[in-house]
Structure 1
Amino acid sequence: MKYRIIALDIDGTLLNDQYEVTEATIRSIERIHRAGTQIVLCTGRSPENSIPIMNKLGLEGVLITHNGAVTVQTPGFQVLHQFSFPIGKVEPLIRFCREQEVHFDVNDAEHLYVERAGEEEAAMYEKYMVRPVVTADVLQLRQPMVKLTVFGSEERMDEVERQWLESGLPEGLVMIRSGVHFIDVMLEGVSKGTALEKLAEQLQVGREAILAMGNYYNDIDMIEFAGLGVAMDNSPDAVKEAADLVAPSNNEDGVSRILQDFCV
């Protein structure tokens, strides 16, 4: 089967635990890209810190960012579509975070905004190659937002998730655990999978011609939509159960090995 689209999650999938793309993975991607297959990075990251990874791979084209909320075209920065909401939509959640001293940020299509960032948060943003815009009160922002993210220890995020499940989110919003230390809140119905499906329709590519690889809960619907859905060995069990097969981990060149087996 010649896959026409390869959809790749970034963190925990394309990148190893040192946040590197290995040379073996770069060579495999270059080979199948030259053969005419489109590589689409599908990530919870913003365009700001995912486009540099695409550049490192020597690719141009489409990226699905913010867990499906923003799809952009490179080179440059052209927003193809976005799913956004006014900042007031998440005001109750922001006030919760302020009262409970839970770190949060809000994102529009291009930028990430914070009210504060301590040493731990600053180190996290640096690791993910993000330059937050510090603003005194994010509720005064007027541009449409695509995502609210909260960050903290696994135990703290477990507790926030529990409280928000019990109290309920504002109507029309959903939350997803995009990492052990992160919870994302977006519009209901927005996901990597729905964005990938929309892109496939635009490109007139059937799902059977799509291979998708990921490692976390925010990758499940993308994995389930693809003709061949692959979970990394470093995935939680629920992600593996949703996949057609399990690849070696992100520290074992899992992406490269799957591409070699199914796309070369």
Structure 2
Amino acid sequence: MYIDQPEGLEKRIQGIACEVKEKYMMVKSTDLLVEMVDGEVRKGNGVKLVGKEVGIGCEEVMGIGENGKEVWMVEFGGCGVGMGNGIDDVKGVGDVVRKWNNEGGVGDMLDELVLGK
């Protein structure tokens, strides 16, 4: 994990060896934070595995996200939701964009799509 001001963070990313970049997935969670995880570790993969275990297809999954670790999960589901406070990458892959988390965006989305309110 790297934490720095945006300009310092970009310099750190550029200084990471190619071998490391090939082995690990780098995700910019915020303008100040980059996380590195094993290339196979993704929230979307976890959602996919759980869905398979309980018999739920991807078209029945709602992926709600705000940061870089959640892009694949938002893309994976039948309904992808980018939160208003999210990074542009997440909002760009979502089917819809809703209010910020602190403004009740997740609850509003569940009310609308799950409960039909």
> What is the 5 A alignment of 1:7-26?
none
TM-score by length of 1: 0.40
Residue correspondence of structure 1 range 1-264 to structure 2 within 5 A: 149-164=1-16, 167-170=17-20, 171-264=22-115
Q: Identity of aligned pairs, percent?
A: 25
C-alpha separation in 1, matches of 2:27 and 2:19: 12
The one-letter code of the counterpart of 1:191 is: R
Deviation at 1:251, TM superposition (A): 2.9
- CA drift of 1:176 comes to 1.3
Name the aligned partner's letter for residue 223 of structure 1: V
- Which segments of structure 1 move beyond 3 Å, counting only runs of 4 or more? none
More helix by share: 2
TM-score by length of structure 2 reads 0.85
The CA deviation at 1:191 is 0.9
Deviation of 1:234 (Å): 1.9
Q: Gaps spanning 5+ residues in structure 1: where?
A: 1-148
What is the root-mean-square deviation in Å for CA atoms of aligned residues?
A: 1.6
Residues of 1 paired with 2:7 and 2:42: CA distance? 25
Is the CA contact 2:30–2:87 (under 8 Å) kept in the aligned structure 1?
no
SS at match of 1:259: helix
Displacement of 1:153 in angstroms is: 2.3
CA distance in structure 1 between the aligned counterparts of 2:27 and 2:88, rounded to whole angstroms:
16
* Mapped partners of 1:192, 1:235: distance in 2: 16
Larger Rg: 1 or 2? Answer: 1
CA distance in 2, matches of 1:174, 1:217: 11
Give the structure, 1 or 2, with the largest relative contact order (CA under 8 Å, sep 6 or more): 1
